[in-house]
Amino acid sequence: MPQKLHETQEQKKRSLLVSLASETDSGRELAGLAETLELEIVSHEVINIREKQPKFGMGSGKAGELAEKAKQLEADCLVFDWDVTPSQQRNWEELSGISVLDRQELIIQIFKSRASTREAELQVQLAELQYRLPRLAHKYIDLSRQRGGRYGTRGAGETRLETDRRLVEQRIQKLGKEIDQVAKQRQVQRRQRERQKLPVCAIVGYTNAGKSSLFNTLTGAGAFVEDKLFATLDATTRRFEPEPGLTALLVDTVGFIRRLPHSLIKAFRSTLEEASHADLLLHVVDSSDASMENCYSTTVSVLSELGAGEIPVITVLNKADKLSDKTQADFHDGILVSAKTGEGLDELKRRIADKIKSCMKCRPHS
């Protein structure tokens, strides 16, 4: 009798997603985040919360229904599209008997899977530890698996929780210092660019709007491109010529998203701030996305928080190849383009050149 072949590929976690009916487009975005983390979605519940009780963030009756649904579907985890407190996470895990992820942890884990440079790895490790620190009371962190982490000897009478908390706090401090060093290096690189007196254009926008595809098309670079959320975590800079004889620097930046976790904004501040040092912003919007107005507003809000709200901007309506109706071009005076087919790129380059010349005239003479 022939032996059965064992599956070598790790089985995807079966996930029950829960989002709020009051949050516009939250369900679609939560599903995109789950798929990016390669979770198998067994069901997606869109609920109304009438009573917000502290134990579960909703009534115990509704919580019981969701836990029972997860059991019936044989789900491995519950995924909520809002932030869950440490005590609520513990209560949900005791009620359902499975692991619980909130929106914040979901995004952090995606960033963790995407980090490919030392800087990004440091930033994600910091955000992850800051998220986990208040959850140590019920979820043990094996620091021996953390890069650079190692168990030391315990002080007299010190509990396991106290030891873990102390080690995590020490690791957070160490990571913070390393990230500060990287930020200083980034400042040095920025000053070197400024000495070249080349205008800087930063590509910004909602995650998966096609920023890296546009960056590659304009510069001929080979930045990583994938049709998933947060494909790019690192700011990449290349030279490009919007017109013959006019050279500028183009910066590809990390994508924004609604309610980006504060720990990630703090950890990635030096990377995100690349946008605030640009002379011109190319705000890329997915013109085929039904929620493009919400995505646009989110990006504008984050740019304002980063101090980049007053920088001249060109709205780039990408993915025109996916549109049957081309009337989107009146959206915030945008230029309809396709990084894939090249449609509209000549007009975009012309407008970039005009804006750059205007910016250069306004620059103070050294």
Domain ranges of the chain: 14-101, 197-362
Buried b (16+ CB within 10 A) or exposed e, 166-194: ebbeebeeebeebbeebeeebeeebeeee
Tell me which residue of 16, 110, 12 sits closest to 63, measured CA to CA.
16
User: Domain 197-362: what homologous superfamily?
Assistant: P-loop containing nucleotide triphosphate hydrolases (3.40.50.300)
Tell me which residue of 217, 194, 236, 184 sits closest to 319, measured CA to CA.
217
Q: How confident is the model at residue 145 (pLDDT cuts 50, 70, 90)?
A: very low
> pTM score, two decimals?
0.77
**Token pair for residue 22?**
């009051």
Q: How far apart are CA 50 and CA 61, in angstroms?
A: 11
pLDDT of residue 129: 92
- Top pLDDT among 72 and 307 is at 72
pLDDT of residue 232: 54
Q: How far apart are CA 202 and CA 50, in angstroms?
A: 43
- Does pLDDT of 268 surpass 80? no
- Does pLDDT of 7 surpass 50? no
Look up tokens 């890329």; give the residue.
Answer: 284
- Does pLDDT of 266 surpass 60? yes
- Top pLDDT among 17 and 189 is at 17
When mean pLDDT is compared over 154-163, 220-229, 336-345, the highest value belongs to 336-345
**Token pair for residue 323?**
């549109």
197-362 matches 14-101 in CATH topology: yes
pLDDT mean over 204-222: 86
The pLDDT tens digits of the residues spanning 199-210 come to: 999 999 998 888
pLDDT mean over 305-317: 90
pLDDT mean over 179-199: 78
pLDDT of residue 21: 87
User: In this predicted structure, which of 36-50, 63-77, 127-141, 216-230 has the lowest mean pLDDT?
Assistant: 216-230
Q: How many CB atoms lie under 10 A from the CB of residue 40? A: 13
Judge contact between 240 and 218, C-beta under 8 A: yes
DSSP state for residue 296 in the 8-state scheme: H
Looking at the chain, the number of H-run helices and the number of E-run strands are 11, 10
pLDDT of residue 234: 58
pLDDT of residue 152: 40
Judge contact between 291 and 331, C-beta under 8 A: no
pLDDT of residue 62: 94
- Does pLDDT of 106 surpass 70? yes
pLDDT of residue 197: 78
pLDDT of residue 153: 42
pLDDT of residue 138: 57
Q: How many CB atoms lie under 10 A from the CB of residue 347? A: 12
- Does pLDDT of 337 surpass 50? yes
- Domain 14-101 indexed as CATH 3.40.50.11060: yes
- Top pLDDT among 218 and 326 is at 218
DSSP state for residue 66 in the 8-state scheme: H
- Does pLDDT of 222 surpass 50? yes
pLDDT, averaged across the chain: 82
pLDDT of residue 328: 59
Judge contact between 16 and 69, C-beta under 8 A: yes
pLDDT of residue 116: 73
Strands 335-336 and 280-286: unpaired
pLDDT mean over 224-236: 56
pLDDT of residue 110: 86
pLDDT mean over 90-117: 89
